[in-house]
Structure 1
Amino acid sequence: MTERRHEREFVRTFFTSPTAIEGEEDSAKMIRRAAQLRGMQAPDVWVPDNEDATAPSMRDEGVENIIEVVSEHGAEFPGEIHPRMVWHRDSPATRYQGFQHMLEIASSDTGAIEHIDGFVIPEVGDIDDWKKADEFFTIIENECGLEEGSLAMSVIIESGESELAMGKLRDEMGKATNNLERLFLFVDGEVDYTKDMRAMTPTGELPSWPELRHNTSRGASANGCIAIDGPYDDIRDVEGYHERMTENQAKGMLGIWSLTPGQVVEANQSPLPPKTGSWLLDVDGEQVELDSEDGVEVYDGDRVSLEETDGGYELRVGNDTRTLDEDELHEELLKLTSYVPSMDDIVDSMEEFEAAKEAGRGAIAMERSATLRIGGTEFDISTDRMWDEATYQAAMTPISLFQDVYENRPDQHDELNERYGAGVVERAMEVGL
């Protein structure tokens, strides 16, 4: 994995707010409200959005609002601040307007730029377009007395051109002719990407674009950047939002665009290890969480049944019924069950492996056992999983994420301590160091 070049190793939440609202007494009310979010409601990256979220006629006022609000509240905001500016790969006039707006913010005598970590550039094209944006950043830094490369640049992948550009970035980054090391976030913009690809679906809904999300995650990983999924428009569909985040996390894309403070809370919590562990049972391809009752994991549904017979056991899953002896049943239940470890479980395993490694052992077996109750019949299962250095490093990812959050978001300490317990948090901050 390529080393990150920025202070944040993980970004869970990318939250956009319109910079100016037409017809309101206070046109800056949305970014003023967002700037005062704290705790789990506050994103890791806040994006005052002077592009799509703000009407073209209001964008000059939006820049003024960014300057005013960030200069007033930026020092206390707990996340990073990356305003989104206008840009388009096919429009020199739009690119120039974005440059002028960034220069106005950076040169303001209010000191707003001191609290701004970078800018988000939408609608980028091929790699030459990325370098144009980077050059504007370099000019702004020199004009305003900032260190070269101090402003991070994030891009929104909204076209086939920009998707292909990620594959060329490794050959360009680090050359003396550019400052592309400033790149921070690669953000998917599926709506404009769908338009650029001329894609259609029978219902008119967006395609899911799993390939784009995979390519963005791969491109970010290969270049030391962070991948962020695009917006999930159905803000009331919490379950769907969670499913999308779970799919993304399996691709290494741990961050997602958030449209409301409620989505920010869900996205801030989603990639963190769970507070308690849970057993899952595969029921016709669906993972069903079992209820834990006095140390027994219980399935109360009607799609799986287990009965003890004179010759062994009768196990029914859906329409399939099988008669099994004790060993066969044990093997079958191991195939049907899985365990989601808690933060405490992960830390326990890592501490045990660290102790074994210090004692000169390169691999150890970790046992996991449970008593299942299905249809009133109880049965004990257990399995051993070998832990070696590769297993340890894989388990480190959620712990590294937690450590990054805890170090960079002190406003969330109370909530994290309440979620896991102070003792678990303390141990989690020490493993892997």
Structure 2
Amino acid sequence: MSTQRHYEREFVRTFFTSPTAVKGEEDSAKMIRSAAGLRGLQAPDVWVPDNEDATAPSMRAEGVENIVEVVSENGADFPGEIHPRVVWHRDDPTTRHQGFQQIMEIADPDNGAVEHVDGFVIPEVGDVDDWKKADEALTIVENEHGLEEGSLSMSVIVESGEAELAMGELRAEMGKPSNNLERLFMLVDGEVDYTKDMRAMTPTGELPPWPELRHNTSRGASAAGLIAVDGPYDDIRDVEGYRERMEENRAKGMTGIWSLTPTQVEVANTAPLPPKEGRWLLRFDDREVDLREEDGRQVYDGDAVELEEEGEGTYVLEVGDEELELDADGLREELLDMTAYVPSMDDIVDSMEEFEAAKEAGRGAIAMTQSATLVIDGVEVDLDKDRMWDEATYQAAQTPITLFQDVHEHRPDQHEELEERYGADVVERATAVGN
């Protein structure tokens, strides 16, 4: 099987769930009605009217009715994709049948919602045979309602060891004539139920971080041409923790993350995009500290790194408990190892355009230079970093630009905000480079 994707989107940044029916409210559909009105950076790439965990069992029948009503009325104007989550369980045929019935009702063309529904999210899947049962349920629904086979995508929540192992079997199973698993779209981690399934415990009762699960989900998605999405980050007030989690995920190739509030949606929509401004970092003791720009110089304001000029051409550099006596060249080399540059969108586009021009002229590799004046304790040191760009470097740099292009293509409701963020000229160049 190839890793060719079977859908238009290459990236999902945000997976936003909302309860389909809230008990005790005059309008039980108030949460999904509100979500259907989200626009711009507060609107998710994927909206999930959640008729499973987010909705009480006694309200799920009404939740199906609410999905049909709200999506049929508002789905045409919603800027992201719509993927309702239904009930399912690998060990419970009754629950699976209930999920099938929910899909049948939501996908009934006479109800007016299915034309705006992109797919369904299936929770609590087990081994790959269970994934096939869910796929078969969707195939039956499509045939019963006269829909094109495979027109409804299927995403799964990885909430068990069985489901985690099943991801390794997808390459062998997708494309077989006995299933329609090509309809798979997203692999979404569900760390809460996964923790329960693994019988895992921590002293505080908090969830383990499960970096292995996130890595395995990202690997499984990459191998099968799918999209990987991390699970919910429950501390909705901890914006910095949310950002750090997303940064860790992106280093694993996992761009998407579950969002629980419109505020989290906005943070998750913007975090993977290239920064508006570039910045220099000073790295030491497993830390990264942003340097402050002042009059074109990069200034370190902390006290964990100290620098003193003892005499002409002689310096003492202290990093934590380590003290180094260096000449000018030695100091420059040491600080080159300690600094890094985070490129802006404009920087990335500039470098890609320069490499494309060099390649057009017949050159396979070129050197790119980054320069800065670093200031520590008033001592200035000029730094020049050379990085060799070849085709592999170019392809790696293209990933954040490809993400931006994917967002620009599929989220026209965000164009105005993107131009405010980067400027119209940079947006125009970013959408053209690499094509």
**TM bucket normalised to smaller:** over 0.9
1:412 and 2:420 equivalent? Answer: no
The alpha-carbon deviation at position 3 of structure 1 amounts to 2.3
**1:320 pairs with one of 319, 322, 344:** 322
- Match of 2:110, SS? coil
- Match of 2:162, SS? helix
The 1-side partners of 2:356 and 2:380 are apart by 35
Moved more, 265-274 or 309-318: 309-318
Residue-by-residue CA offset, 1:324-343 (whole Å, 9 max, x unaligned) = 00110011001111000000
1:4 and 2:10 equivalent? Answer: no
The 2-side partners of 1:133 and 1:167 are apart by 18
The 1-side partners of 2:78 and 2:122 are apart by 22
AA in 2 matched with 1:278: R
* 1:120-135 matched pairs, under 5 angstroms: 120-135=121-136
The 1-side partners of 2:207 and 2:45 are apart by 26
Structure 2 unmatched runs, 5+: none
- Match of 2:219, SS? helix
* Alignment RMSD (CA, Å): 0.8
The residue number in structure 2 matching 1:150 is: 151
**2:353 pairs with one of 351, 354, 360:** 351
The residue number in structure 1 matching 2:385 is: 383
1:217 and 2:218 equivalent? Answer: yes
The alpha-carbon deviation at position 111 of structure 1 amounts to 1.5
1:101 and 2:96 equivalent? Answer: no
The alpha-carbon deviation at position 2 of structure 1 amounts to 2.2
The alpha-carbon deviation at position 282 of structure 1 amounts to 1.3
* 1:136-215 matched pairs, under 5 angstroms: 136-215=137-216
User: Are the aligned partners of 1:150 and 1:182 in contact in 2 as well (CA < 8 Å)?
Assistant: yes
The alpha-carbon deviation at position 110 of structure 1 amounts to 3.2
User: Are the aligned partners of 1:229 and 1:255 in contact in 2 as well (CA < 8 Å)?
Assistant: yes
The 1-side partners of 2:385 and 2:114 are apart by 55
* 1:271-310 matched pairs, under 5 angstroms: 271-310=272-311
- Match of 2:237, SS? coil
User: Are the aligned partners of 2:18 and 2:49 in contact in 1 as well (CA < 8 Å)?
Assistant: yes
User: Are the aligned partners of 1:273 and 1:398 in contact in 2 as well (CA < 8 Å)?
Assistant: yes
The alpha-carbon deviation at position 286 of structure 1 amounts to 1.1
Residue-by-residue CA offset, 1:134-178 (whole Å, 9 max, x unaligned) = 001111111111110000000000000000001111111101111
The residue number in structure 2 matching 1:42 is: 43
* 1:365-376 matched pairs, under 5 angstroms: 365-376=367-378
The residue number in structure 2 matching 1:83 is: 84
The alpha-carbon deviation at position 188 of structure 1 amounts to 0.1
Give the fraction of aligned pairs with identical amino acids, expressed as a percent.
77
The residue number in structure 2 matching 1:364 is: 366
TM score, norm. by length of structure 2: 0.99
- Match of 1:362, SS? coil
The 2-side partners of 1:74 and 1:25 are apart by 22
Residue-by-residue CA offset, 1:67-88 (whole Å, 9 max, x unaligned) = 0000010000000000000000
The 2-side partners of 1:38 and 1:133 are apart by 31
AA in 2 matched with 1:314: V
The 2-side partners of 1:2 and 1:381 are apart by 42
The residue number in structure 2 matching 1:393 is: 395
TM score, norm. by length of structure 1: 0.99
User: Are the aligned partners of 2:307 and 2:377 in contact in 1 as well (CA < 8 Å)?
Assistant: yes
The alpha-carbon deviation at position 108 of structure 1 amounts to 4.8
- Match of 2:370, SS? strand
User: Are the aligned partners of 1:67 and 1:108 in contact in 2 as well (CA < 8 Å)?
Assistant: no
The 2-side partners of 1:387 and 1:60 are apart by 57
Moved over 3 A (4+): none
Residue-by-residue CA offset, 1:94-120 (whole Å, 9 max, x unaligned) = 000000010011115231100000000
Residue-by-residue CA offset, 1:328-386 (whole Å, 9 max, x unaligned) = 00110011110000000000000000000000000000001100111111110011110
AA in 1 matched with 2:340: S
The residue number in structure 2 matching 1:432 is: 434
AA in 2 matched with 1:13: T
User: Are the aligned partners of 2:109 and 2:115 in contact in 1 as well (CA < 8 Å)?
Assistant: no
AA in 2 matched with 1:69: V
- Match of 1:74, SS? helix
The alpha-carbon deviation at position 251 of structure 1 amounts to 0.2
The 1-side partners of 2:388 and 2:405 are apart by 25
